[in-house]
Amino acid sequence: MNLKQPEAIVLKRPSQLKKYVTIALVIIILWGSARFANFSLIDIIENFHQAGRLLKQMFGKPAWNYAPKVIPPLLETIQMAIVSSLLGAIVAFPLALLASSNFTENKVINQITRFILNIFRTIPSMVLASLFVAIFGSGNFAGVAALFIFSFGLISKLLYESIEAIDQGQVEAIVSLGGNKLTVLRYGIVPQILPQFISYTLYTFEVNVRAAAVLGYVGAGGIGQFYERAYAFRYFDRVGIIVIITFVTVLIIDFISSQIRKGLV
């Protein structure tokens, strides 16, 4: 009995056209963006020695005797970040509830709240700080106000997405037992989102520490004002010590905050 041999299966090689077109588009976009931004590798190479000379002036012999004067404004920067993050978190919680479709069922309120949050979240903190400095004058208040607006916009966005992703089974069980909105919020939503809420607040605090260190450059208080003065008078050794101390402080804060967030989530 002769058995018919099965025909060999020949796999067709996929077309490489899509890959090549994608690579070509990426190259064109990069080239066009570089042209629009006047980016030039030649200028970077030609001025590389100037960058090396500047770094040597900053970090070759930093002004360590200037370090004690940097600590107070650095503490102000951290305090600005703490206040703005906490106030932003407090305001963000009710706004996130209004923006979440599974808690606030009115779509008009949802969309209006999300639109407002998108507006505040898209405005850079540096622009807000410049605006508040023009209104209230230079100082820490302008920086705190700018970071506060940025904070509640960011936390609200992250939080309402977490609320919409909760386990609805717990909420339905509470509703079936006659629970009202406040009962659902207290026993069905808060226990599920509280770790994320704290994590988002800590993350915003990390971002605000870095942002507050720069906002002083436009007169919004903190360590940035010392940086602006040292740079304006070409005291690059002082600029170097300010950068070093700020860098170490931000690293420590990021490490502690990340460890806390890992324990929460």
Question: In whole angstroms, what is the distance from residue 20 CA to residue 4 CA?
Answer: 42
pLDDT of residue 49: 81
Question: In whole angstroms, what is the distance from residue 113 CA to residue 100 CA?
Answer: 9
Question: In whole angstroms, what is the distance from residue 50 CA to residue 135 CA?
Answer: 38
Can you read off the two tokens belonging to residue 175? 């509703």
pLDDT of residue 170: 81
For residue 13, pLDDT over 70 is answered with: no
For residue 261, pLDDT over 70 is answered with: yes
For residue 105, pLDDT over 60 is answered with: yes
Q: Is the pTM of this model over 0.75?
A: yes
CATH number of 64-264: 1.10.3720.10
Taking only the tens place, the pLDDT of each residue in 47-83 is 778 878 888 888 888 888 888 888 888 888 889 889 9
pLDDT of residue 9: 61
pLDDT of residue 220: 75
85 falls in which pLDDT band (50, 70, 90)?
Answer: very high
Question: In whole angstroms, what is the distance from residue 212 CA to residue 249 CA?
Answer: 13
pLDDT of residue 213: 78
The single-letter DSSP state of residue 37 is: T
Please indicate whether residue 86 or residue 217 has the higher confidence score (pLDDT): 86
- What are the start-end ranges of the H helices in 100-189? 107-122, 125-136, 140-164, 168-176, 181-183
In the chain, the amino acid numbered 198 is: I
pLDDT of residue 89: 93
Q: What residues have CB less than 8 Å from 132, skipping those under 6 apart?
A: 141, 142, 143, 145, 146, 220
For residue 87, pLDDT over 90 is answered with: yes
For residue 128, pLDDT over 90 is answered with: no
Q: What residues have CB less than 8 Å from 99, skipping those under 6 apart?
A: 110, 113, 114, 117, 156, 160
Contact criterion met (CB below 8 Å) for 112 and 179: no
pLDDT of residue 92: 92
pLDDT of residue 83: 92
Taking only the tens place, the pLDDT of each residue in 42-52 is 777 877 788 78
Contact criterion met (CB below 8 Å) for 204 and 89: yes
pLDDT of residue 148: 92
Q: What residues have CB less than 8 Å from 77, skipping those under 6 apart?
A: 209, 212, 213, 216, 221, 222, 223, 224
Taking only the tens place, the pLDDT of each residue in 14-57 is 667 787 888 889 999 988 888 887 777 777 787 778 878 888 88
Averaged pLDDT for residues 117-140 = 84
Q: What is the domain partition of the chain in residue ranges?
A: 17-58, 64-264
Q: What residues have CB less than 8 Å from 139, skipping those under 6 apart?
A: 219, 220, 221
Least confident window among 88-92, 183-187, 204-208, 261-265: 261-265
Taking only the tens place, the pLDDT of each residue in 187-224 is 888 888 888 898 889 888 988 888 887 887 777 777 88
